[in-house]
């Protein structure tokens, strides 16, 4: 299991990519919470663009300056975690349901750094793929996936009755493709289904991967 200490080391490594005066895009989740804490502790003059309300409020509480893509359309660096990744940089994200805004921020940023533990580094992606789906189209999307032998499970929350709703007001579901041999083909298929806003398949969106190991090693993979 990925220890808190290893997460902290990974967060410290990610913060090394941030210089004074940077505009920093951030994702969401427990590792990103640690990254935000490290950024606040570093005392650098930076601006944060958060991908979720969770990260927004955490940044505010830490005293960090928060802005938006409207004001800063090309962040200097994007820092985030992942749910699963291969050594060629193909990722599955969206465990927290914020993958649409995360993908937008990653795409807009000049440098993209993703952090995770060695247990999430795999030969082939095999986690269910998170999808953000407009409510009107949910059943249609479910049927379209079923035709291809893919099961879609509507995500629910322990804190509320009914489906998990994204920051954009859409429904989050998880599509189980089993072991994914061709992530690009899966992403293309999902993008062609009307009603699917975005998928958690992230391709070509990482410049540096930081892989933390419990015994202290930090592995860095670069893609440019």
Phi, psi of 190 (to 5 degrees): -70, -40
Phi, psi of 42 (to 5 degrees): -70, -25
Strand-pair partners of 196: 133
In angstroms, the CA 203 to CA 89 distance is: 7
- Residue written as token pair 């993908």: 103
Query: Is 102 tagged catalytic?
Result: yes
From 13, 38, 58, 102, active-site residue: 102
Q: Tell me the HSE value of 88 on the side-chain side, using a 13 A CA sphere.
A: 9
Residues 6+ apart with CB under 8 A from 151: 145, 175, 176
In angstroms, the CA 96 to CA 100 distance is: 11
- What are the residue numbers of the active site? 102
């Amino acid at each position: 299991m990925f220890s808190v200490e290893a997460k902290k080391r990974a967060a410290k490594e990610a913060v090394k990519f941030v210089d004074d005066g940077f505009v920093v895009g951030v994702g969401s989740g427990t590792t990103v919470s640690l990254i935000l804490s490290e950024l606040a502790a570093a005392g650098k003059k930076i601006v944060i663009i958060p991908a979720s309300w969770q990260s927004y409020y955490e940044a505010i509480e830490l005293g960090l300056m928060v802005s938006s893509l409207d004001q800063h359309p090309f962040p200097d660096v994007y820092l985030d975690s992942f749910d699963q990744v291969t050594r060629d940089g193909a990722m599955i994200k969206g465990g927290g349901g914020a993958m649409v805004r995360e993908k937008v921020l990653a795409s807009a940023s000049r440098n993209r750094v993703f952090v995770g533990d060695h247990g999430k580094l795999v030969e082939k992606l095999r986690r269910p793929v998170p999808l953000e789906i407009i409510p009107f189209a949910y059943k249609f999307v479910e049927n379209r996936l079923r035709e291809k032998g893919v099961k879609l499970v509507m995500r629910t929350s322990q804190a509320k009755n009914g489906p998990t709703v994204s920051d954009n007001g859409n429904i989050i579901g998880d599509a189980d493709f089993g072991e994914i041999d061709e992530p690009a083909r899966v992403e293309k298929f999902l993008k062609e289904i009307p009603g699917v806003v975005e998928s958690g398949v992230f391709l070509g969106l990482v410049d540096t991967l930081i892989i933390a190991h419990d015994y202290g090693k930090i592995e860095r993979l670069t893609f440019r």
